[in-house]
Amino acid sequence: MNATAAKQNAVTELMRISPVADELAARFARAGHRLYLVGGSVRDALLGRLSPDLDFTTDARPDAVQRILAGWAEAVWDTGIEFGTVGAAKKGATLEITTFRADSYDRVSRNPEVSFGDTIEGDLVRRDFTVNAMAIDLAEKKFVDPCGGLAALGRRSLDTPATPEESFADDPLRMLRAARFVAQLGLEPAPRVVRAMTDMAGELARITAERVQTELSKLVLGVAPRRGIELMVDTGLAEHVLPEVPGMRLAIDEHHQHKDVYQHSLTVLEQAIELETTHEPATEPDLVLRLAALLHDIGKPATRRFEPGGGVSFHHHEVVGAKMTRKRLRALRYSKDIVNDVSQLVYLHLRFHGYGKGEWTDSAVRRYVTDAGDLLPRLHKLVRADCTTRNKRKAAALRRAYDDLEERIQRIAAEEDLARVRPDLDGNEIMRILGIPPGPLVGKAWKHLKELRLDRGPLDHDEAVAELHRWAAEQGIERAE
């Protein structure tokens, strides 16, 4: 398809998918203003992946935009109005309308000195990448592409309208966005973009942890996050975002052969992504699982030991790795739930390797399930993804062993309701039987009975009462009268 046909197809597709855009453009035209669909919305339409979140730009100032939207939009918000952006909702679509910008940057922070522009061309040339610097004039159904974004998209090339050095000096977050677009869209960064990212990686320190975290999450949730992470590592960006990942590139000499931990982790990430949809329960892209897959072995460099005879060990790397994971994700301002879930998966990922050919007792299986809790489906996928080896016979044996473990979990769960392992006596019964008031002693008794439940499975009531009395006697607790 030639460029002219591609442009016309994009316009036609946009109008078919989003009549809201046509309605809105008519309102702007009646008010004497121009409205353009712009940036990622145009790029995604050309790629056949237009979403209901639409970005527009206009010559109208924010107060005029608010007047035009009044009485038409179902909701209007002005949280971005200081940057010239007014948000709205209409017929299931989320719209962001931004006045033409002609900003300048102090190149110390990433905050621009906001100023409004007068032309669509001036607005587009200040954008981050040429593939995001395309627009459609909605009144005339005309394609606007002053920076060659369509040709770049056709080549799958990621380049900047200005020089990369100028663009990244204005906003260093654009370097991380480049890695994200590689992961999300399968674009290839232009050589000059890679050089600038490498030379300017340290500028990322100007960006807040929250903004970095947002871009990293989008990258990890992309179609091909491995490519984005490799670009971050190769350019040095990862040293300022996830330094533990390039830290896994351990030197391997001829006397101490072992698996390349960095490449292994990237492979585990890819296999975990495949298991999101092929292993039940199927899920959408899972940030917690993907972060755990990427970070599960970050404790190995700190625990590496060369053993007599040329072997290499990484004792307790899962414990060290869980602590490192927690520290890094907190620094990136991830939520408490994400920090806890990812670090717990890292901590638990190695436990299965004690299973052997099924040597675990039912007690050990119960503890595996109980310690994983709600994370068990993710743990299943992480452990399976981590079973990487060039030895096909060994790989098949690991898969069979984990199949056996999952079957045992299902059998025991059906018999004992493993999802809610509780002691056979609750706190009220413990207080009544022992004649003790609420307090720490009740918690200790509860914990003891839970350990028995994990070791021996469900106890009948009389047996549980007898065990409670036995424990109380050992503790020197006499029943209060």
Which residue has tokens 């993804």?
Answer: 385
Count how many domains the chain has.
4
Residue 129: pLDDT band with limits 50, 70, 90: very high
Regarding whether 190 and 86 lie in a shared domain, the answer is no
Residue predicted with more confidence, 331 or 354:
331
What share of the chain has pLDDT > 90, as a percent? 54
Regarding whether 75 and 143 lie in a shared domain, the answer is yes
pTM over 0.85: no
Strand partners, 313: 305
- Residue 254 is predicted with a pLDDT of 41
- Residue 253 is predicted with a pLDDT of 42
The domain that holds 170 is classified in CATH as 1.10.110.30
CA distance 54 to 104: 25
Final residue before a domain boundary, out of 115, 133, 155: 155
Regarding whether 139 and 8 lie in a shared domain, the answer is yes
What confidence tens digit (pLDDT) does each residue in 388-425 have? Answer: 766 778 888 888 889 999 999 888 877 665 555 566 67
Ranked by mean pLDDT, the top range of 269-278, 367-376, 436-445, 458-467 is 269-278
Regarding whether 114 and 27 lie in a shared domain, the answer is yes
What share of the chain has pLDDT > 70, as a percent? 88
Answer yes or no: is pLDDT of 50 > 90.
no
The domain that holds 13 is classified in CATH as 3.30.460.10
Regarding whether 136 and 7 lie in a shared domain, the answer is yes
Regarding whether 347 and 285 lie in a shared domain, the answer is yes
Q: Please report whether residue 75 resides in a domain.
A: yes
Residue 51: pLDDT band with limits 50, 70, 90: confident
Regarding whether 224 and 324 lie in a shared domain, the answer is no
Regarding whether 366 and 280 lie in a shared domain, the answer is yes
Regarding whether 398 and 443 lie in a shared domain, the answer is no
Range of the domain at 339: 246-420
Final residue before a domain boundary, out of 155, 187, 210: 155
- Residue 460 is predicted with a pLDDT of 78
Compute the mean pLDDT over every residue in the chain, rounded to the nearest whole number: 87
Final residue before a domain boundary, out of 240, 269, 297: 240
Residue 277: pLDDT band with limits 50, 70, 90: very high
Q: Please report whether residue 160 resides in a domain.
A: no
Regarding whether 384 and 280 lie in a shared domain, the answer is yes
Regarding whether 192 and 282 lie in a shared domain, the answer is no
Regarding whether 142 and 283 lie in a shared domain, the answer is no
Q: Please report whether residue 479 resides in a domain.
A: no
Residue 9: pLDDT band with limits 50, 70, 90: low
Query: CB within 8 A of 91, min separation 6: which ones?
Result: 20, 74
CA distance 162 to 137: 23
Residue 358: pLDDT band with limits 50, 70, 90: confident
Residue 49: pLDDT band with limits 50, 70, 90: confident
Q: Please report whether residue 362 resides in a domain.
A: yes
**Range 46-75 average pLDDT:** 91
- Residue 393 is predicted with a pLDDT of 84
- Residue 481 is predicted with a pLDDT of 46
**Range 12-33 average pLDDT:** 83
